[in-house]
Structure 1
């Protein structure tokens, strides 16, 4: 832990400079510096809940609301790593709840944050394993992880680079609800006591039945004629463009919405799109999506929901290289038929269930174009329906009960 703290201390000036750059660009508010370094004022909150960004917090909103309803004595401070997520939580207007940027995981920032808010429990979502926060909060009360994910690659890295630190962290966790059996096994292998495993639940699976299908694309194209390539990584745009071009030539699809995982790669992506000769427009350049556009580069943040809503088919990317694939739950929630590449290790159980139920179509770089040409409206609807059936979670009441029992209170100590 000493080495970890030393590294974070050395990085502190760089963190401060990064915040300053974000502030100058208008990407964070005036209070970001104070909040990130634990200097902001606030009121007491018995429960500290942390999620990285919009997706994690949105998927857990139902759980947050359950906690608030069941424990009217609790006040919450919800933290995140992005200003947009902070604003989103503020806009929820949940009772007894404050939203802040999370303190950096330095000893001083976490200590100052705790002094201001005085939380007696920490709940964090998915794979936000921040050692300083966990170890400091374990001295104050229970630390709970919900929807925890531990990939094979991450587990190997932790075991190789910092096995003692990971064992220390695992020993301080009160309750871990893993999102799949593989993650649960890897947490135990890294040192989590078996009895501290709670009910398994994929947070993003909750609420599939609450989402409504979106409108058709605003260019007159029917939804079943729109393909979304969601969160593409380097090397994947060429695969997507080749497959789409083949299907487009044969009249299968009218529009490709190409959403790069990292908008900073826009120059590279633009060059690839331009080389196809297909008419295109770029979202960040405020170029309109007009009739005749074949490729729309959606290189902005926080707008994925509308792209899922517009697309009858979603190719989930990060699955053609070593990234391990991205979530199938969001396209399923929007009733968009799911395609994916060969590598889906990050959500292995979910994709196994999808493939077994006929709720997704596995493709390769070579078979993508041919597969797209088989996806007429009826096939898309069948895939989307099967996906929702395969991914709808079991009753989550066991998890809610376990979390409430672990939280400090009059009856729980």
Structure 2
């Protein structure tokens, strides 16, 4: 209890710093200035109480949660669903995926009063947290109210485990107040157990990110867009790029244009506040570009398309021949390579893939992922893939097979959640 008291005092004391941080971030994304009261649990008129609350902190987790939410809506049509996020970008993804089918608010800061107001308003039957978001106050109050807490698609990298190990005496009681943790892999489970979770609180479901599928509608839209943009040109995509990567990508593209003058690059910055920066970089590198938002069709002289829209990454992968997945040439840890793999694309990533270690190992061991370390290697790999269509198809086919072999985690997760929800009508 002393830990919770100290934690609360510190969290309340740093609120002015948090307000300043929101203000600073709002200069790049005005969404941080909006809906401030939701961050303190004031959401009574914005949610339907008595159902499922699902929290996904980041854009990646929100995308992974989409099939889970759809499955829950199908199985429990009478239960309202509230999805919480932490960022305006995550909020936009929820609204674009579900519209008014679900309620959406920000998860409040982990303050005693804020969490109490939030739970009083939502009155959830169950709370599901995607991956690993451990908020002491939220966990404690759910446990006190006897509301089941499921941590779904849970993973714990070696790097995160080392950090949590330093506060093992604090982690143990926190973890033991969770109801069930559905781990992606055995290695994740063992790390959680070492931190104090009981084996009876863990089940291994696999990663629901493998339960990705390309709908016929999406495939048709991708084919149409490819015909509009570049029916006779090779295309590569650099997706979810971060600061420090775009420079490498543009330098590589300049080199590739010397060998493939009609090559088209689609660059998709990870964060919308960087759209203008990436456009400026394209100018700096003297690359002819258009933006996705402009609605323009690339001309023969167009060398780059800057994807400055939200929620279209899966569509844009379907337009490309080769995919580089960002956050991996800088120490961000990489982003989800399975979205590209689902389109049967050869996937390239940098060396920093600790956010997706197990997935990348599976792809690499099955010849479905190419790891590079610098611009020179990136240029070499893309050159080889562009020069050899059979080589491209080989990697793309392997990527789809990896997804098919690991499919099924979503069903296992739903079976694990089922005992904590009302009996379904068949």
Residues 352-381 of structure 1 deviation map (CA, whole Å, 9 limit, x = unaligned)? 111222212222312211211122344333
* Per-residue deviation, 1:14: 4.7
- The CA RMSD measured in Å over matched residues stands at 3.2
For residue 46 of structure 1, report the CA deviation from its aligned partner.
3.6
CA 1:353–1:224 in structure 2 vs 1: closer, same or farther (change >3 Å)? farther
Cα distance between partner residues in 1 of 2:19 and 2:33: 14
Instruction: State whether residues 228 and 314 of structure 1, in contact with CA within 8 Å, keep that contact through their aligned partners in structure 2.
Output: yes
Mapped partners of 1:29, 1:304: distance in 2: 26
Runs (5+) with no aligned partner, structure 2: none
| CA 98–348 in structure 1, closer or farther in 2 if over 3 Å, else same | same
Moved more, 316-325 or 110-119: 316-325
User: Could you list the per-position Cα deviations for residues 145-190 of structure 1 after superposition, in whole angstroms to 9, with x for gaps in the alignment?
Assistant: 1111222222222223x43332232111211112233322222222
- 1:311-351 alpha-carbon deviations (Å, 9 max, x no partner): 22110122223222211111122333211122222212211
Q: Cα distance, 1:300 vs. partner?
A: 4.6
CA distance in 1, matches of 2:50, 2:367: 46
- The aligned counterpart of 1:169 is 174
SS in 2 for 1:124: strand
Match of 1:205 among 201, 210, 219: 210
Q: For structure 1, list consecutive stretches of 5 or more residues without a partner in the other structure.
A: none
The match for 1:372 is 382
1:34 aligns with 2:37: yes
Equivalences for residues 129-148 of structure 1 within 5 A: 129-140=134-145, 141-148=147-154
- The TM-score with structure 2 as length reference comes to 0.83
Q: Measure the CA separation in 2 of the matches of 1:313 and 1:327.
A: 15
Instruction: Pick the aligned partner of 2:357 from 342, 348, 354.
Output: 348
For residues 328 and 362 of structure 1, the distance between their equivalents in structure 2, rounded to whole angstroms, comes to 12
Instruction: Describe the superposition over 1:88-118 as per-residue Cα deviations: whole angstroms up to 9, x where unpaired.
Output: 365262xxx5332322222211110111222
Matched, 1:383 2:392: no
Contact 2:180 2:201 in 1 (8 A): yes
- Asked if 2 retains the 8 angstrom alpha-carbon contact of 1:121 and 1:137, the reply is no
Larger mean Cα displacement after TM superposition, 395-404 or 53-62: 53-62
Aligned to 2:12: 9
Report the number of matched residues. 404
Correspondence for 2:328: 319
**1:232–1:259: 8 Å Cα contact kept in structure 2?**
yes
1:209 Cα deviation after fit: 5.2
Which residue in the other structure is 1:87 paired with?
A: 95
Deviation at 1:390, TM superposition (A): 0.6
